[in-house]
A and B are shown apart, each in its own frame.
Chain A
Amino acid sequence: MAVNKFPVEGSHIMMFARSIADENQIYYDEDYAATTEPGRVIAPPTFAQSSAQFDPDYFLRPKTGEDWFGSGKEATGIKREASGGGGGGGGGGLHAEQHFEYHRHIGPGDVLTAEVKPGKTWEKEGKRSGKLVFSETITEYRDQNGELVITARGVGVRTERPVDQ
């Protein structure tokens, strides 16, 4: 997801830390954080993923006035014949891999950009879900000074049918 402006904010970091059940005070308490080695509130290692919040076109967020594929009165809000499921996850496929390289730890006050570069694509035959199509994206997060702070590599997979349980 390309993002022109991802302001890293304290309340967002606090909510993100709560959502991964991480009660470390460094994620919300400035006074405590000042006594730690980083010396300030920092973000948990996987926080960069929440840059999706700042992607105006992010397809996994409902938008006013547009059809949404989740349920309302019906099981899906997309007004066409359901294709009988499949797609292995509906809409986004499944997340197969995620890798982060940290050049510097980010915190409140940083304003990031995220530039996405396409990576490799490959296919594999899966035992539990039919043909698997993998695709890789590289995201470079830079700070307000244009310095690279995080390099992320994600691999998504689309399955022929839902994964057998």
Chain B
Amino acid sequence: MALAAKDLNVGDTYTECLVEDLKRTQIVMYAGSSGDYNPVHTDEKFTKEIAGYPSVFAHGMLTMGMTGRMITNYVGDGRVTKYGVRFTSQVWPGDTLNSTATVDDVTDGIVTLSVETTNQDGVVVLSGYANARVD
């Protein structure tokens, strides 16, 4: 279901829980599908002993992909025209992520959203924007 411009107001929000208790297996699935096999995402031994992090951590693109799911669930399939993010904090196994889109503008059939994904401690892990066509 696509959005209608007449139903949208600046400041409207849409929120989804992206994941609860992120599993290492989900990260492995993302490595396999995306082709990014950087061991920092799946190889605990390497990540602790060589890279110097407390554990493996999620690909930024996994968080961006899950956040994109929130956006397409909100604006409808095939409606996104732009989507960009900054990765502001790492995402770890066990994290629970919530993501919110906020309507910033609706002009000429395009909605501009600001997008923010936070973890269970309220830390922003991703912030960005999306544009989508609306009816």
Residues of A within 8 A of B (CB): 12, 15-16, 18-22, 24, 26, 36-38, 42, 44-46, 49-50, 52-53, 55, 58, 60-62, 69-71, 75-76, 82, 85-92, 94-102, 105, 153, 161-163, 165
B82 in the interface (beta carbon within 8 A): yes
Residues of A within 8 A of B74 (CB): none
Contact A162 B30 (CB under 8 A): no
Contact A19 B71 (CB under 8 A): no
B83 in the interface (beta carbon within 8 A): yes
Contact A44 B35 (CB under 8 A): no
Top 10 closest A-B pairs, CB basis?
A99-B84, A70-B39, A85-B52, A20-B65, A52-B35, A53-B35, A75-B49, A162-B52, A38-B78, A19-B33
Contact B85 A98 (CB under 8 A): yes
B76 in the interface (beta carbon within 8 A): yes
Q: Mark B70-108, 1 if CB is under 8 A from A, else 0.
A: 011100111111111111001000000000000000000
Give the most central of A42, A46, A86: most B CB within 10 Å. Answer: A46
Residues of B within 8 A of A (CB): 2, 18-19, 26, 29-30, 32-40, 42-43, 45-54, 59-62, 64-66, 68-69, 71-73, 76-87, 90
Q: How far is the CA of A73 from the CA of B52 in the complex (A)?
A: 18
Contact B33 A45 (CB under 8 A): no
19 residue pairs A–B, Cβ–Cβ below 8 Å: A16-B34, A19-B29, A20-B62, A21-B19, A37-B77, A45-B72, A50-B34, A52-B35, A53-B34, A60-B37, A75-B45, A86-B52, A89-B51, A90-B46, A94-B87, A95-B60, A97-B84, A97-B87, A153-B84
Residues of A within 8 A of B54 (CB): 165
Residues of B within 8 A of A22 (CB): 65-66, 68-69, 72
Contact B38 A92 (CB under 8 A): yes
Q: How far is the CA of A61 from the CA of B37 in the complex (A)?
A: 5
Contact A90 B51 (CB under 8 A): yes
Besides A19-B26, A36-B78, A42-B77, 18 more A-B contacts (Cβ < 8 Å) are A15-B32, A19-B30, A21-B66, A21-B69, A22-B72, A44-B69, A46-B65, A49-B36, A50-B33, A53-B34, A62-B37, A70-B37, A70-B39, A82-B50, A90-B46, A99-B82, A102-B80, A102-B81
Residues of B within 8 A of A55 (CB): 35
Residues of A within 8 A of B46 (CB): 69-71, 75-76, 90
User: Given known contacts A19-B29, A37-B77, A90-B51, is B64 in contact with A71 (CB within 8 Å)?
Assistant: no
* CB nearest to B70 among chain A residues: A22
Residues of B within 8 A of A20 (CB): 30, 62, 65-66, 68-69
Residues of A within 8 A of B36 (CB): 49, 52, 60, 92
Contact B85 A97 (CB under 8 A): yes
User: Given known contacts A45-B71, A96-B87, A163-B90, is B78 in contact with A76 (CB within 8 Å)?
Assistant: no
